[in-house]
Amino acid sequence: MSGMRRAPRPSHGPAAIASSPWIVVGAGVVVMVVLLFVALGAYRGRSPARDGGPPPAGLPLPQAPVSPSGLSPTPLPENSALLPGLSPRASGLPPSAPVTPVTSRPSTVGPAVASTSARPPVRPSQQPSAVSGRYRVVQSFDGGFIGEVLIVNASGVDRGWTVRFEFAGGRLVTTWVEGVPQGTLRQFDGGFTYVSGVDVPAGGSVALRFHLERASSTPRGCTVDGARCSGF
């Protein structure tokens, strides 16, 4: 049967794979199954400590420090802002400052106020006047007399002076100062004032004299610069 043709044999190789797509799909499924088993084995072979599980047996568990209040401090994030009095590893509240007990003391307001109010006000001591006066009767006659006020300056500087003389009844005839310029005379009912024309020298004296008619030789008042005269 030389005239009969033989049927061609199927060719092997890439052409056969291309003509049979189920072979490619089956190979892909096998590869995926193998990769799945490899992934499961790697997951089961990981360390328990990395997955957050309990540490291996035989290792001590770390203990967090206990605060004085009995509560464990809560760690702050590393990038959290620092507050005054707080550290990144401390608890949320700063340590309280120690309180010093205050002891009560007896109040002294009442007695102090009472004692202060009971004290008399302090007044400056009045220094004696540096210029003083001494009164005397120089001459007496019918109907009147001549009186004198001797002004004495006990200070170390020259001083002016003012005499105020009061008498009962009568009238003033005249006044004068012997040996020095005259001063200023001002009369009022029952007396007069005399202001010096020149100062009394330091450690010196000057005599003011006056003539009174029908008046008592004992004056009602006599002062030199406000200080009472002596001699009556």
Over residues 138-150, the mean pLDDT reads: 95
Confidence at residue 63, expressed as pLDDT on a 0 to 100 scale:
56
Q: What is the pTM of this model?
A: 0.46
Q: How far apart are CA 186 and CA 202, in angstroms?
A: 26
Confidence at residue 57, expressed as pLDDT on a 0 to 100 scale:
54
| Residue 63 tokens, joined | 């203990």
Q: How far apart are CA 35 and CA 22, in angstroms?
A: 20
Over residues 202-217, the mean pLDDT reads: 95
Region of residue 179 (left: phi > 0; alpha: psi -120 to 50; beta: else): left
Q: How far apart are CA 14 and CA 16, in angstroms?
A: 5
pLDDT digits 0-9 by tens, 107-128: 544 444 444 445 555 454 445 5
Strand partners, 136: 148
User: If you count them, how many residues does the chain have?
Assistant: 232
Candidates 100, 105, 160, 136; CA nearest to 229 is: 136
Residue 209 in 3-state DSSP? Answer: strand
